[in-house]
Structure 1
């Protein structure tokens, strides 16, 4: 498996019924190349079935909460970035900030592969020049609330 395979798996986790054409567009491959990769992953046992969960809140909470400092490319406007980023899955907060970066984005991801796909998509489709990602280890408010009830 390589990075493209991980990206394909991330797309299929969100929409297992996506067409090979649309899958290829999302990951930068032709429909035939995307189909070949999916078939190989099925043959190798990486993919054992296709299921799409209709209600994402019904499943388990995403494994990672991340904070991404974003610097836009010079040719990208704030409006273009905001329009693009708000369409992406897992984005929970987008804040225009002062300082060294243009935006602070809070997002959730199931795992490192999904986070990698999100970061690649931000650069490819949302006009991001640079990003710096921090992973939340714990929420101090949740820890304090748990301690006070016990």
Structure 2
């Protein structure tokens, strides 16, 4: 990666929907050259994808958005946990983190009973020894 790639990444992180023409103009490249660089970074795994972030309250779906700090059982490998947890209903993101816990899991649950069921599945099926759950009240976007 060179300076242009880093500049392109910075722009895309601020506006992933920017046209290749506008992206190229901002970094001093043609639209085709900018597109080629983005395609290369996608192919090489530098850019892992594009996503749409939706405010949980704005999408019209009722329910809870939760963040679950997870500590694995000593006999559970991280890769096995990741495979198992991504199969569970409502899981939207799994992040390996530093600090007191092993993972941070983001999930949706229809109601407190569904959240309770999810937490039980995490312990029974995914190898979670301990968890701490926080419920999102609202999201602020810049």
TM range (shorter): 0.5 to 0.7
Report the counterpart of residue 93 of structure 1 in structure 2.
93
Larger radius of gyration: 2
**Superposed, which structure 2 residues align to 1:58-97 within 5 Å?**
61-97=61-97
Find the aligned partners of 1:135 and 1:100 in 2 and give their Cα distance.
Answer: 19
Return 5+ residue gaps in structure 2 as ranges.
1-58
| Native 8 Å contact 1:92 1:106 kept in 2 | yes
Report the counterpart of residue 107 of structure 2 in structure 1.
107
- How far 1:60 sits from its partner (Å)? 5.2
SS in 1 for 2:79: helix
C-alpha offsets along residues 100-141 of structure 1, whole Å, 9 cap, x if unaligned?
A: 000000000000000000000000000000000000000112
Find the aligned partners of 1:109 and 1:85 in 2 and give their Cα distance.
Answer: 14
**Superposed, which structure 2 residues align to 1:1-150 within 5 Å?**
61-141=61-141
Number of corresponding residues: 84
| Native 8 Å contact 1:62 1:108 kept in 2 | no
- Tell me the TM-score normalised to structure 2 length: 0.57
- How far 1:62 sits from its partner (Å)? 3.9
Q: Which runs of 4+ in 1 moved over 4 A?
A: none
C-alpha offsets along residues 9-62 of structure 1, whole Å, 9 cap, x if unaligned?
A: xxxxxxxxxxxxxxxxxxxxxxxxxxxxxxxxxxxxxxxxxxxxxxxxxx9514
Find the aligned partners of 1:85 and 1:60 in 2 and give their Cα distance.
Answer: 25
